Amino acid sequence: MKNILYILSVSLLLTAVSCEVDLEVPFPEHEAKLTLNTFLEPENFLQLYVSRSYGVLDNNITDSAIQVRDAQVSVFRNGEFLDVMVFRDTVISDTILEVFQVTTPQGVDTTIVSEIIIDWPGAAYFTKNPQRKPLPGEAYSFVVTHPTLGQAEAETTIPAAIEIQGVSLAIDSISNRDIEGSEFSWNALNIMFNDPPDQENFYKFSGFIQYQQQRINSPEIDTLGQFDQLAIDLQQDADGFLSRDLSPLPDVAFNGGVPATVTTWFRIVTQTFDFNGNPVPPSIVSVDIEMFSMDKGYAIFSEKKFLQERSYTTGIESAFFPAEPVILNSNVEGGYGLVGSFNRTRFTFVP
């Protein structure tokens, strides 16, 4: 019996101390590589951000610590040498023209051009003429070499300009309820544009809605705020839930259609009332739309970057149920980063 008690007590002791042990273990050292980043667009300068990657155990990772200022950078256009790029740390001022296509309530299309002065930050490689801008439809490639970080290359083709050919609005197209059970109406915004059949373009839309509340003695105009694209086909299940998709819309969805049509959705949360106090749909004053036409690398990166950030910044649940890892895409051979491009189109719709 004594033996049994002895075994029992030793066992209990060992069990009690044997729950979890944490030990430091060696981790492979990171081999730094060149990181190339840029999102080229016809409205901005031809520029390339060059830095180095770093290991998870590295200390004191700051902007200046990872910036690479002493690389040799060459830029090519459509495969032909264009220029040597040099590092500039100073601000570059530029004047850009913002062009809006506007459809008036009378159905007349007009164009508004405004001039904006912008100070661009430096800390990037620019061509000798720093105000050189990339051209739509052209392929730009960068070759970067560094004495210790090796060589990296990447290429992107600037998407051609896309014309928004028309916009229509369908108020209260669909309704759903939120977590508190309130019903909300969603308004469908149908956007028609020319999707080039010979380019693999991806699209994202954003914009602002301005609407008028029909309040007694207060016919003011409120700004609903920015909306992001929801989906091509917003789906609703039997319980009224809507599935949303924030991914860039793939080119295959449009098949080079002329015109291609996409429907994006928004809702106005604030209830509006008529003069008798009855709820009525708000009166839409204008819809400002910006459409991004992106190359494939940027489109994928845009979605993955959002997901990676979300998976690392959410609350306590992520400690227990970590989100699946997001492996960012890169089109940089011999290094990391993303060399992408886009073209933007703006349109103001007045119902």
Partner 1 sequence: MNWTLILRLLLIGCCIQLFPLSAQAQSYVISGYVSAGSSGEKLINATIVDTRSQKGAITNNYGFFSLKLPQGTISLRVSYASYEAQVFEFDLQSDTVLNVDLKLKSLDEVEIVAENIDRDVDQTQMSKIDVSIDQIKSLPALGGEVDVVKVIQLLPGVQSGTEGSTGLYVRGGSPDQNLITLDGVPLYYVSHLGGFFSVFNADALSSVQLYKGGFPARYGGRLSSILDVRMKEGNLNEFHGEGNVSLIASKFSLEGPLVKGKSSFIISGRRTYIDLLTRPLTRIASGGEGSAGYYFYDLNGKVNYILSDKDRVYGSFYLGRDVASVNSGFSSSGGGIDYEDEFKFGLGWGNRLAAVRWNHLWNNKLFSNLTATYSQYQLRTNGDGRSEVTNGDSVAVDEFGLDYRSRIRDWGLKLDFDYYPSPAHDIKFGVQSTYHKFVPSSLGISQQAGGLSLDTTFNSKIDTTIESGLYIEDNIKIGKRFSANVGLHLAHYYNLTDRLQSFSLQPRAAFRFALSDNVTVKASYAQMTQFIHLLTNSGVGLPIDLWVPATAKVPRQDAWQAAAGISASLFEDQISVSLEGYYKEMRGLIAFKEGNNFFFGGLNSGTWESTVETGGEGTAYGTELLIEKKQGRTTGWIGYTLSWNYRQFDNINNGLQFPFKYDRRHDVSIVVIHKLKKNITLSGTWVFGTGNAINLPTGGFATLQDPFFSSAFGFGNQFSSNPFFQVQSAIGGFNGGGILYEEGRNGFRFEPYHRMDLGINFIKKKKWGERIWSISVYNAYSRLNPFTYYFQSNPEFGELPNGEFGLISNNTSLVKVALFPIIITPSFQFKF
Which 226-255 residues touch partner 1, going by CB under 8 A? 226, 235, 237-239, 241-245
Q: Which of 166, 173, 329, 351 binds partner 1 (CB under 8 A)?
A: 329
Cα distances (Å, whole numbers) of residue 10 to 2, 4, 6, 91: 12, 10, 6, 72
**Shortest approach of partner 1 to residue 334 CB, angstroms?**
13
**Shortest approach of partner 1 to residue 215 CB, angstroms?**
25
Q: Which of 1, 15, 113, 217 binds partner 1 (CB under 8 A)?
A: 15
- CA dist 135 and 42 (Å) reads 6
Pairing of strands 92-103, 164-177: unpaired
Query: Taking CB under 8 A as the criterion, which residues in 64-83 touch partner 1?
Result: 66-67
Query: Taking CB under 8 A as the criterion, which residues in 137-196 touch partner 1?
Result: 179-181
Contact 345, 161 (CB under 8 A): yes
When asked if residue 1 is in the footprint of partner 1 (CB under 8 A), the reply is: no
Q: Dihedral sign for Cα 67, 69, 74, 75, please.
A: positive
Residue 6 φ/ψ, nearest 5 degrees? -65, -45
Residues 6+ apart with CB under 8 A from 79: 139, 141
Q: Which is nearer to partner 1, 107 or 315 (CB)?
A: 315
For 182, half-sphere exposure in the C-beta direction (CA atoms, 13 angstrom radius) is 9
**Choices 39-47, 80-88, 253-261, 267-275 (CB under 8 A): range interacting with partner 1:** 39-47
**Shortest approach of partner 1 to residue 280 CB, angstroms?**
26
43: which 2 tokens? 């409205």
Dmax over Cα atoms in the chain, in whole Å? 101
Q: Which of 80, 183, 220, 317 binds partner 1 (CB under 8 A)?
A: 317
Q: Which is nearer to partner 1, 21 or 278 (CB)?
A: 21
Contact 236, 220 (CB under 8 A): no
**Choices 33-41, 161-169, 261-269, 270-278 (CB under 8 A): range interacting with partner 1:** 33-41
When asked if residue 113 is in the footprint of partner 1 (CB under 8 A), the reply is: no
- CA dist 86 and 88 (Å) reads 6
Q: Which of 134, 196, 282, 337 binds partner 1 (CB under 8 A)?
A: 337
**Shortest approach of partner 1 to residue 4 CB, angstroms?**
7
Pairing of strands 124-127, 80-88: antiparallel
In one letter, which amino acid is 41?
Answer: E
Query: Taking CB under 8 A as the criterion, which residues in 274-293 touch partner 1?
Result: 288-290, 292
When asked if residue 306 is in the footprint of partner 1 (CB under 8 A), the reply is: yes
Binding mask 45-64 for partner 1 (x = CB under 8 A): ----x-xxxxxxxxxxxxx-
When asked if residue 105 is in the footprint of partner 1 (CB under 8 A), the reply is: no
When asked if residue 95 is in the footprint of partner 1 (CB under 8 A), the reply is: no
